[in-house]
Amino acid sequence: MVLKKRASAVLAAVILAATGTAAFATENLSFVSWGGTTQDAQKQAWAEPFSEASGIRVVQDGPTDYGKLKAMVESGNVQWDVVDVEADFALRAAAEGLLEPLDFNVIQRDKIDPRFVSDHGVGSFYFSFVLGYNQGKLGGNAPQDWTALFDTTKYPGKRALYKWPSPGVLELALLADGVPADKLYPLDLDRAFKKLDTIKQDIVWWGGGAQSQQLLASGEASLGQFWNGRVYALQQDGAPVGVTWKQNLVMADFLVIPKGAKNKDAAMKFLANASSAKGQAEFANLTAYAPVNVDSVSQLKGDLAPNLPTAYAKDQITLDYAYWAKNGQAIAARWNEWLVK
């Protein structure tokens, strides 16, 4: 109890130091995310201690809906204050004037990995797409990199891939086809789709984390592209799954404030807390997603740290959110045409 009170006092001091003003017990803000265990962890790591220290009540809402966010801003009736979005959407929405610029007098920008902060968004967390495999299906024949997905002789069975036209699948196809990591962009779409054609009949698509875990743990898919946190969770449950971190593909979520948010000042304070070293470390310890604050790593649980992207920085390839923000909609049109062929 003493430690809990001391931690709350420290958090309150951080918030007050960051804002220079006392918070008011009557303030509220709405927080929107994707639901499930991720939002539960965001509530536990960020919202509850923030409310306790500041007196600002955080109302959970969701799921994130880009169309709804845009409609709110354009109608001038913004009901959301902080929204967890994908990194490429954060950049595109900023370019379209849908977001508030962040106040870096409140948010400590110099402590955030530069890959995960912009004028209108700060990282929520980051993760890697990794190559996961079912050890029961592949035995001791452990795959080493993305080329294994396209070698159906050496690595038989279905391949599980993320079904949405977003950063990840096209890049791994190009890497497997021999494109150097520093030459991925602009994406050679013809080459990427031609490579995917070679295994199209062997692909099973997943659209959410639970589905991806079921495919991998059951062996319905022998190997595939997965969020690192989902593979870690399976391993913790004793599932016979392995992972390779070579060419792990880094993607991130960002926290943004919609233009015209009614509780903008409270939202800035919330973002300062969520992106702090403590806030990021506590969220990472709950989820196995990596912290964006460079001072958080030393606060990670000892048994967790080796299972996060932060331990494999030399093998990382950071996906180009800016490229996808500009070209994502055109790629999506071609992606959908390819899927139905």
For residue 331, pLDDT beyond 70:
yes
For residue 24, pLDDT beyond 50:
no
Fold matches, 28-126+253-312 and 127-250: yes
Beta-strand ranges (E) seen in the chain are 28-32, 57-61, 82-86, 117-118, 121-134, 158-162, 203-206, 221-227, 241-256, 316-318
Give the mean pLDDT of 303-315. Answer: 91
How do residues 159-177 score in pLDDT, each as one tens digit?
999 998 889 999 999 999 9
Q: Taking Cα atoms as reference points, which of 29, 34, 20 lies closest to residue 62?
A: 34
Q: 32 exposed, middle or buried (CB, 10 Å; 0-12, 13-18, 19+)?
A: buried
Give the mean pLDDT of 295-319. Answer: 93
Fold of 28-126+253-312: D-Maltodextrin-Binding Protein; domain 2 (3.40.190)
Domains in the chain: boundaries: 28-126+253-312, 127-250
Global pTM? Answer: 0.84
How do residues 78-118 score in pLDDT, each as one tens digit?
999 999 999 999 999 999 999 999 999 999 999 999 999 99
Number of CB atoms found within 10 A of residue 93's CB: 24
Q: How far is CA 277 from CA 40, 111, 132, 263, 280, in A?
A: 19, 8, 29, 24, 5
What does the mean pLDDT of the chain come to?
A: 91
How do residues 255-270 score in pLDDT, each as one tens digit?
999 999 999 999 999 9
127-250 in CATH: which number? 3.40.190.10
Give residue 26's pLDDT.
61
Instruction: Kindly state the tokens that stand for 5.
Output: 């009170």
For residue 5, pLDDT beyond 60:
no
Instruction: Kindly state the tokens that stand for 100.
Output: 């508030």
For residue 309, pLDDT beyond 90:
yes
The whole-angstrom separation of Cα 102 and Cα 256 is 8
How do residues 111-152 score in pLDDT, each as one tens digit?
999 999 999 999 999 999 999 999 999 988 999 999 999 999
